[in-house]
Structure 1
Amino acid sequence: MNHDASPTAPSRRARRTVLLCLTALGTASALFVVRGPLMMSAPRCLAGRWHGCLDTFNGVVLVTLATLPLAALATWALARRRRAAGVAAAWRMSLAEVGTVHGTLPFLWMTMMPGAGAGIVPGRVSLVPLRDLVTMGPLGIAGNLLVFASLGFFAPMRFRAVTSVPRVLALGAGCSVLVETAQYVLRLDRVSSVDDVLVNAAGAVLAALASRRWWRAPVDAPAERPRPAPAVAG
């Protein structure tokens, strides 16, 4: 018996079903844990009011969760179109694209929310490493780890150019530097800290390591050459 044979279609389908069930269970558990804070913003979000919904963390999280079905529909539509065109790995590419956008934009929105002194208080910069880390607290560290986690998780699945840990680290750090610079230039009453860059980049790398088995083949990977047929004795 060949134990190295590739998994059959039923086994792949079973694993996909298990993965979907675990994702649904995890989402339901997260909703149960944060149901209280989210319900505080639900009335204003349902009424279509900006204030109290899209200008609060709870409101942005609620809108993000509520639009998950739309993200799933967009993934299905893109994958179906690609499969019809004969594109390989249509589902992986579509999931990576939608997941990157849907998982990153809400955190960017929250990081760019202006404070009470926006436009009045001058920009502040903190360039001493680890000085602000001790004041973030567990919730602040977790939030900073998640800012570019979706980017780090999905980007190597979609683009060969970032299929290595150093490249994902550079991508996460570069995006974080752009965000911190925008906070300073726009005078959003936020502190542009080097610790935010470090934690954001670390979150991207940790997420990338979690998706490593689904990365695309690197650009410099040598192509497998066909083996010559064995000579037949005459």
Structure 2
Amino acid sequence: MEQLWYSFSDVIPIFTVMIPFVLGISWLHFKRQRKKGLSHREAFFFSSTGALFILSIIGILLVTLLPIYGMRSQTLQLKPFSSILHLLEYSITASVTIRLIGFNMILFMPFGLFFSLRFHRKMSVWTITFLGMLFSTGIETAQYVLAIGRTSNIDDVILNTTGTFIGALIGLLISKLFFKKTRKKSIRNK
């Protein structure tokens, strides 16, 4: 836990300040959806998933693009699976490898999840996964161009894309359950 706090101590205050702004926008969106005739439940669903989607983007950008103090390097790793294999081979403990690989996937799972929940009617899991890959590629490119002390790594793109895919699948399942219940409820009320 202490290691997590050390890793994200710069991110947490900025992220915390952003939450009220996103919630305010979400509240306005909720009111607008209600005026359009959506039920309370549907308007809340769309507004809250939109807010969580925006917060996931903010969180990803903060974690990946805040400079590492004292470092202004540009490192590029374009050989797929090279850093993952290096971690597996030379890591002191398996938990370090699992954390680093898992973190890259988990970082993008909320992005895929809330993207899928918010836009499930308009985009497929594959489209959302592709957009997650583009977002991750954009971040890795920015890390290299801005020289913020981070390694631009193709393995990060692969793991982030995998996380987006898993999140989008979970979002698809949740939205099917949610809208199945909503449809049944509206049929009973008629």
TM-score (norm 1): 0.59
Aligned AA (1:195)? D
CA distance in structure 2 between the aligned counterparts of 1:96 and 1:77, rounded to whole angstroms: 14
Q: Mind listing any 5+ residue stretches in structure 1 that lack a counterpart? A: 1-33, 41-55, 217-234
Q: Mind listing any 5+ residue stretches in structure 2 that lack a counterpart? A: 88-95, 177-190
Counterpart position of 1:212: 172
1:182 partnered with 2:136: no
Counterpart position of 1:93: 46
Distance 1:179 1:93, change over 3 A: same
Aligned AA (1:140)? L
CA distance in structure 1 between the aligned counterparts of 2:127 and 2:153, rounded to whole angstroms: 22
CA distance in structure 2 between the aligned counterparts of 1:126 and 1:205, rounded to whole angstroms: 23
How many residues align? The count is 163
1:124 partnered with 2:124: no
Map Cα deviations across residues 115-156 of structure 1 (whole Å, 9 max, x no partner): 3321xx3x2211111111242722222221133222211112
Distance 1:36 1:139, change over 3 A: closer
Aligned AA (2:105)? L
TM-score (norm 2): 0.71
Distance 1:214 1:192, change over 3 A: same
1:141 partnered with 2:101: yes
Task: Quote the sequence identity (%).
Answer: 26
* C-alpha contact 1:173 1:197 (8 A) present in aligned 2: yes
Give the secondary structure class of the aligned counterpart of 1:211.
helix
Greater percentage in helix: 2
Counterpart position of 1:170: 130
Distance 1:199 1:79, change over 3 A: same
1:78 partnered with 2:29: yes
* C-alpha contact 1:104 1:147 (8 A) present in aligned 2: no
**Relative contact order (alpha carbons < 8 A, sep ≥ 6): 1 or 2 greater?**
2
Distance 1:183 1:37, change over 3 A: closer
Give the secondary structure class of the aligned counterpart of 1:178.
helix
Aligned AA (1:91)? F
Q: 2:56 aligns with which of 75, 100, 103?
A: 103
Larger Rg belongs to = 1
1:194 partnered with 2:154: yes
Distance 1:196 1:95, change over 3 A: same
Aligned AA (1:170)? F
Map Cα deviations across residues 149-174 of structure 1 (whole Å, 9 max, x no partner): 22211112222442x22212211111
- In the TM superposition, residue 74 of structure 1 has moved relative to its aligned partner by 5.0
CA distance in structure 2 between the aligned counterparts of 1:37 and 1:145, rounded to whole angstroms: 16
Map Cα deviations across residues 85-118 of structure 1 (whole Å, 9 max, x no partner): 3136312221121001112212211111223321
* C-alpha contact 1:149 1:204 (8 A) present in aligned 2: yes
Root mean square deviation, CA, Å: 2.8
CA distance in structure 2 between the aligned counterparts of 1:142 and 1:62, rounded to whole angstroms: 24
